[in-house]
A and B are shown apart, each in its own frame.
Chain A
Amino acid sequence: MKRLLFILPVVGFVGLLAVFFLGLGRDPRALPSVFIGKPLPAFATAPLRPGDTGLASTDFQKGEPALLNVFASWCGPCRVEHPVLMRLRQEGVVIHGLDWKEDAPAGLKWLTERGDPYVRAGNDPTGRTGIEFGVAGVPETFVIDKQGRVRYRHVGALTPEDWDQKIGPLMEQLRKES
Chain B
Amino acid sequence: MRDQVDKIVKRIHDLPTLPLVYKRVSDLLRNPYTSASDVAAVVSEDQVITTKLLRLVNSAHYGFPEKVETINRAVSLVGMQAVKDLVLATTVMDLFHDHQLENWTTAEFWRHSLGTAVTTSALAKTLGYGDEAEEYFVAGLIHDIGKIVWMEHFHVELYEVLSLAHEKRITMFEAEQKVMNFTHARAGRMLAKRWGLPERLVETIAWHHDPRLADKHPRYAATVHIADAVANGMHLGSSGNGCVPALRPEAIEMTGIGPHHLPDALAAVHAEYKDALVMLSFWDEDEKNEVADDLANV
Is this pair of chains taken from one and the same complex?
no
A→B interface (CB under 8 Å):
none
B→A interface (CB under 8 Å):
none
